[in-house]
Amino acid sequence: MKKNLYQKKDKFYVAVDCIIFGFSNGKLKLLVFNRKIDPFKGSLSLIGSFVNIGESVSDASKRILEEFTGLKNVYMKELKTYSLIDRDPGYRCISIAQYALIRIGDDTKKIVEENGAKWFDIDIIPNLILDHNQMTFDALKRIEEIVRYKPIGFELLPEKFTIPQLQKLYEAIYRRTLDPRNFRKKILTFDVIIKLDEKDKLSSKKGAYLYKFDYSKYKKLQESGYNFEI
């Protein structure tokens, strides 16, 4: 590192906290763990820790998520910075919150549990340390906003899913019920899901057709955006 030209300036601990959402049994879930260091050892917390000097914030969040949960290759987005001077009694510290939507597969479930993390239903989130409840609230609001103009679901649903499942995901985010005929029509007009020749019979006797996302179209839609008021 070169000569320090900023010697008289203040320095900060910089943390990241990860707000990880999943979807299972028709419910949005938040990933939470038991904090293992003081202050607040033993309390419930988002997955978070400090950024090292030799890494970017986004590298740090990947490293930390993996350290705490075993989850790899999760693509997180920056939510915002939390920097109130009294936010952390441990020491003056800012946190750059990151959020992600992930698929809760069998592998994920196992990894997460082995590492002592837990999924909580988003409408019964327990008290978390510091400003972590605020972060969760802000992340949920962000997702609600984004869903209005970008498709969602690919990251949260299993590879093969049914239209009623996808509808339940939207209902969980919108927090209201949707008309199944209109929902189906709308989703299909985007031409972003592909009908498969299999049925899922877990939730009904008749069975529902499985679909998968057309990933390249999905990605394009995410970039270009659209309007999804339903």
Partner DNA sequence: TCAAAAGTGTTCTCAATACACCCATGA
Partner DNA sequence: TCATGGGTGTATTGAGAACACTTTTGA
Binding-site ranges for DNA (CB under 7 A): 162-164, 179-182, 184-186, 189, 199, 201, 203-209, 227-230
* Residue count (the chain): 230
**85 near its own copies, rule: CB under 8 A:** yes
**56 near its own copies, rule: CB under 8 A:** yes
d(CA 29, CA 22): 5
DSSP 2: -
Q: Name the one residue in this structure whose structure tokens are 């988002």.
A: 46
The DSSP H or E segment spanning 122 is none
**C-beta of 24 vs 58, nearer to its own copies:** 58
Helix axes 180-189, 163-174, angle to 10 degrees: 100
CA 91 from centroid of its chain's CA atoms: 27
CA 214 from centroid of its chain's CA atoms: 21
Smallest gap from residue 180 Cβ to DNA (A): 5
**143 near its own copies, rule: CB under 8 A:** no
**C-beta of 67 vs 113, nearer to its own copies:** 67
| Contact code string over 199-228 relative to its own copies, x by CB under 8 A | --------------------------x-x-
d(CA 154, CA 212): 9
For binding to its own copies (CB under 8 A), which residues are involved? 1-2, 4-6, 9-14, 37-39, 50-58, 78, 80-81, 83-85, 89-94, 96, 145, 148-149, 225, 227, 229
